[in-house]
Amino acid sequence: QLQMVESGEGLVKPGGSLRLSCTASGFTFRDNYMTWIRQAPGKGLEWVAHISSSNKSAYYADSVRGRFAISRDNAKKIVYLQMNSLRGEDTAVYYCARVYVVGGYMDVWGKGATVIVS
Amino acid sequence: QSALTQPPSVSGSPGQSVTISCTGTNSDIGAYNRVSWYQQSPGTAPKLIIYEVRNRPSGVPDRFSGAKSGNTASLTISGLQAEDEADYYCSSYTISNTFVFGGGTKVTVL
């Protein structure tokens, strides 16, 4: 069945780094774009970044550009989010999802990973 | 990358219809038919309920419908049920190859 499982969550000090991983199963990972979306406590959804199926193109929200990096390993079916220079406002639940850029939607979501910057 | 504009809350009695608006710009909603809607219950991940303005994924009840006119999209829930009480988010792809979400709307079933 289609599934995403995030890992790597944790508590980190301001200025620190953390890497989230998302392992996919149930579909042909290498054929699909992937994305990270976050949700701060009590707040709405915020798109963070997405990456092409081939790993050649990546796009970022202004709020994280230059600090975060999205990447993927198609052999392992994992998408990563490397987060550097973390700030308090990066505290959130981070979801990975399969994204169809042509249609503009995310159809399969993980359960989320909690990142606390404090 | 300004968020799309949604009303913070809407409410209705069981059986009634409610509509949630989602207003963007010519750079996002107005540019493409790449508008989607997500339902999120407390403590759970969002769930896709509408994609490409008006299409429903398999398993989503047909009481959920979507539309778009110019820079504004809308989600209508017809025949409101208790289980529809949740937060709803719109999203659009943009001309900058990014995504933008609305601030979310809490639907309350009275």
In degrees and rounded to multiples of 5, residue B87 shows phi and psi of: -95, 145
Show which residues on chain A lie within 8 Å of chain B, measured between beta carbons: 35, 37, 44-47, 50, 59-63, 95, 99-107, 109-112
Say what the pLDDT of residue B2 is. 82
**Which residue in A has a C-alpha nearest to residue B31's C-alpha?**
A104
> Which one-letter DSSP state was computed for residue A1?
-
The pLDDT of A34-38, averaged and rounded, is 98
- Give CA–CA dist A118/A28, Å, rounded: 38
Q: Residue B99, class by beta-carbon neighbours within 10 Å (0-12 exposed, 13-18 middle, 19+ buried)?
A: buried
At A56 the pLDDT is: 87
Residues in A touching B89 (Cβ below 8 Å)? 44-45
Q: Residue A109 pLDDT more than 80? A: yes
Q: How many CB pairs below 8 Å do chains A and B form together? A: 74
Least CB–CB distance from A45: residue in B44, B89, B97: B89
User: For residue range A59-88, what is the model confidence (pLDDT) as tens digits?
Assistant: 999 999 999 999 999 999 999 999 999 999
Distance CA B77, CA B59 (A): 15
Average pLDDT by stretches of 10, chain B with 110 residues: 93 97 97 97 97 97 97 97 98 96 97
Write the DSSP string, B75-94.
EEE-S--GGG-EEEEEEEE-
A85-106 pLDDT, tens digit each: 999 999 999 999 999 989 899 9
Indicate if the alpha-carbon torsion angle A53, B36, B79, A39 is positive or negative. positive
Q: Helix, strand, or coil here: B41?
A: coil
3-class secondary structure, B1: coil
What single letter denotes the amino acid at residue A28? T
